Amino acid sequence: MNKDQFKNLLAVNLRLLNPQVTDRLRRKGKSGAELTNKLKMQFLLNGLIFFLIYGTVMLPINLAEYPNMFTYYVVLFVLLAVSQSISGIYSVFFAGKDLNNYLPLPFKQKEIFLSKVTVVAMNVIPFIFPLFIAFFSTAWHAGIMIPMALLLSLVAFCIILTIILFACAIIVFALTKTSIFRKHQKMVMNGLMVITLVIAMAGILLVNNSDYMAGKHQAINPIMLPLFKTFVEPISVISLLNWTGLIILLLILGFILKRSILPHLGSQLTSINTQMLSGSGKRKHVERKSLNAILDAYNRQVLKESNMLLQVLVNSVALPLIFIISFAFTQIPNNLPLKWVGVFFVGGLAFSVFTTNSTAVVANMISLDRGSLEFVSSLPISMKQYLKRKFLLGFIFQIVINLALIIVMIIVWKLNLYLSLSMIFSTIWGTYLVSLYYFSRDYRLRITNWTNVTELFNRGGGNMAIVLKMLIVMILSIGVIIFYSFLIGTGKPALVVNGTAAFLIIALSFIVVEHYRQKFWQKFE
């Protein structure tokens, strides 16, 4: 493999991975190798920030004494890595529009494949970085010296991530060779993601029901024992066998990729992309009378053609749902009195902020138009009406997702009627407020020449920013809810406490709605 060509491909993909960061650095005069190095340093800095954030939460936990909790973290983040990898590989290789530009150039198939997989890995790492922390925490608490613990954790993390990426690549590429995929590409990929999501949820539920925090030194699952021993007793026979097994598995997957995928990479990608382009040209003629009906039909068609729904399924559903299932098993009394309605209303607002992010449909509806927005602005139709129809579709889509997730939480917690209604109504209202922010953000950061939807998601910091935002929202929300619960639970006048909370929510809601009415919607009147 030509290392210089691989570096050049990786440099191009780094720019696509973080378009906003790239533009900001270019405005500062950075270009060429200097720009590439800055992007690499940005990624390393983000990794350090994640280490500090996750480490603060996870390092105090002695996973060496809680082997079942170690199992819980490994299963949780491996399943998350699988769902993110399948989605990322399909998006980067088959839903992107830049590969046809690479194929005629003198790049080897291996170089193109590895550069694209590296991009997928860089998108996946922010979501599964706690796995590395879990490895390090286990080794450190087991008495392993910090340099050795870091080395063991880093090597194991890289090998396991590579195994997951290779395995998912084999699955996706093998699937694209089937006749059913060629006829129903998006349906098959969406089905695969649903199956992956169901398996992930089932695995997490199974582990959650195993009482992983019940006590120290419990018997660990035999499947996870070799990996656990790798960090607790790194020079034991079982640890050496584990390393041998991981390396052999990695070599087998690498051999399958080299023999079955790489030789036909160019022709397979060209074939699939050609079919996707020819399929996207088909339209059904339907009589529609009103302008709103025409705009709605157009927006739904744009959404179907963008591979957006697959990405939304993973980022707006899978990740929040995994967090929900992970933390929703806290026991909550189901007979709480009416005075607790306000606490659950605030919880619903926090939930909507947590689940609505830059990967939501509403956060990308404008950019999905590509260059059509400028064309529409030249037509004799109201831009405000045009954008409001887009906003409505994205908002409804996010409402359906959030309500489905909140109902799962209500069932898990077995909440009574008035607490359930409080969470449902606050989720609807919170989703509306957050949707206003992300819709206007999409207009402000809009990209018209994107090659795949991952570029849209990566605006403003990418997956690093998404996970950081989730962590910040979670920490702040827990703090507010604990404080609110303390006031309600310690005998403070419920009418005064809830009244004050209601006044603050109404005032903040008015400020947010009025801000976007004046600063965004009035632009198009």
Whether residue 15 is contained in a domain is answered as: no
pLDDT over 70 (residue 220): no
pLDDT over 80 (residue 201): no
Whether residue 284 is contained in a domain is answered as: no
pLDDT over 90 (residue 218): no
**295 plus 248 within the same structural domain:** no
pLDDT for the residue 431 = 95
Q: What are the φ/ψ torsions at residue 371 (nearest 5 degrees)?
A: -85, 0
pLDDT for 452-490, tens place per residue?
677 777 777 666 677 777 778 888 888 999 999 999 888
| CB contact burial 249-281 (16+ within 10 A = b; e otherwise) | ebeebeebbeeebbeebbebbeebbebbeeeee
Whether residue 170 is contained in a domain is answered as: yes
**320 plus 396 within the same structural domain:** yes
Cα gap 414→423, rounded to integer Å: 13
Contact 355, 315 (CB under 8 A): no
pLDDT for 482-522, tens place per residue?
999 999 888 788 899 999 999 999 999 999 999 999 999 99
**304 plus 240 within the same structural domain:** no
pLDDT over 80 (residue 382): yes
**339 plus 421 within the same structural domain:** yes
**320 plus 243 within the same structural domain:** no
Whether residue 17 is contained in a domain is answered as: no
pLDDT for the residue 85 = 84
pLDDT for the residue 370 = 77
pLDDT over 80 (residue 311): no
| Matching residue, tokens 């998404």 | 466
pLDDT for the residue 79 = 80
Cα gap 500→519, rounded to integer Å: 28
pLDDT for the residue 319 = 61
Portion of the chain with pLDDT greater than 70, in percent: 76
**Parent domain of 197:** 32-277
Whether residue 14 is contained in a domain is answered as: no
Whether residue 16 is contained in a domain is answered as: no
pLDDT for the residue 39 = 76
pLDDT for 402-417, tens place per residue?
898 888 788 877 888 8
pLDDT for the residue 17 = 62
pLDDT for 120-160, tens place per residue?
887 788 778 888 888 998 999 988 998 999 999 999 999 99
Whether residue 8 is contained in a domain is answered as: no
**222 plus 245 within the same structural domain:** yes
**377 plus 512 within the same structural domain:** yes
For residues 185-203, average pLDDT: 68
Instruction: Choose the final residue of a domain: 247, 277, 307.
Output: 277
Q: Which residues contact 14 (CB under 8 A, 6 or more apart)?
A: 22, 36, 39, 40, 43, 119
